Amino acid sequence: MKKILLVLSLIMTSILVNAQEIILPLWEGTPPLQKDMGLEEKAVEEGIIRIENVQIPQIEVFLPSKQIRTGQAVVIFPGGGYHILAYDWEGRDFAKWLNTLGIVGIVVKYRLPDSKSLTDAKEVPLLDAQRAVRLARHHAEEWKIDPSKIGVMGFSAGGHLASTVSTQYAHEVDRPKDAIDALSARPDFSILVYPVISFRDASAHSGSRKNLIGENASQELIDRFSGELNVTPETPQTFLVHAQDDGGVPIENSFLYYKALNANKVPASLHIYPKGGHGFGFGLGKGPVDGWRDVLLDWMKTVGQ
């Protein structure tokens, strides 16, 4: 019995030594497109951790033990309607799960456009998303990541951000740059979970659209941030999952993006479940969506083939 306990203790010690968590700011000093106004971030735990008014955007990196690393990394954008971040439910929890599969999980605490400190709010989430992907490539050797196997994953409004960085990875704004900006911000694959895609009236999630581009946005802005209109043959291969009974984000969002991907001959996999609602996360105990992650893992094995 003592030998068994010793072996278990050594295994646990090995896991703790090899599994690592790293927190890094996205930017040095005051982030671009932001004024230092002394505003404070707010985090509330009410069943899940909700973060508001992000002032210091960062990545939280979860590294799997060395023995099981696959070389893949997933940069994760939690949802929350561009008003809050559901930081553990659609962020940390998934990063830790990916770790058990040998995949690096990188959770992005991105700035939210309703913060008063931002000078061009609509550009900021994409800017932070681009930076997060570039930082993953910058640290690829150190974190044992294959720089050609870095994907993005987003939930709800975080899915909108993931699709935006997948279609507008080369978008530029006027700001100071450093060596990291020379790296590509293009993800190698995208995982979009009950995503907001379109800002057009028929399918729009009005809260996300209002928070990102305003209530009276021009048609030009609405079209720019409607992901289905910005897909090209260079858009990364994509996995989409949605529930038919989603009362928060219409299922048409996933249909529109899949249709655009298919029209551009981009490999894509669309999975629709009859029940699950919105915000099902892992899907545990929520009926048909309970097994969606197994389908995702099978798809991830094909990425790059």
Residue with tokens 């930017």: 27
Query: ∠ CA(88), CA(62), CA(242), 5° rounding?
Result: 50
**pLDDT above 50 (res 12):** no
User: Measuring CA to CA, how many Å separate 264 from each of 194, 230, 240, 261, 268?
Assistant: 22, 11, 16, 5, 10
* Confidence label for 204 from pLDDT (cuts 50, 70 and 90): confident
Cβ atoms of 134 and 80 within 8 Å: the answer is no
Q: Report the percent of the chain where pLDDT is more than 70.
A: 93
Domains in the chain, start-ordered, CATH in brackets?
Answer: 41-301 (3.40.50.1820)
* Confidence label for 202 from pLDDT (cuts 50, 70 and 90): low
Dump pLDDT digits (tens) for 140-192: 999 999 999 999 999 999 999 999 999 999 999 999 999 999 999 999 999 99
User: Measuring CA to CA, how many Å separate 109 from each of 4, 10, 190, 199, 282?
Assistant: 41, 34, 18, 23, 20
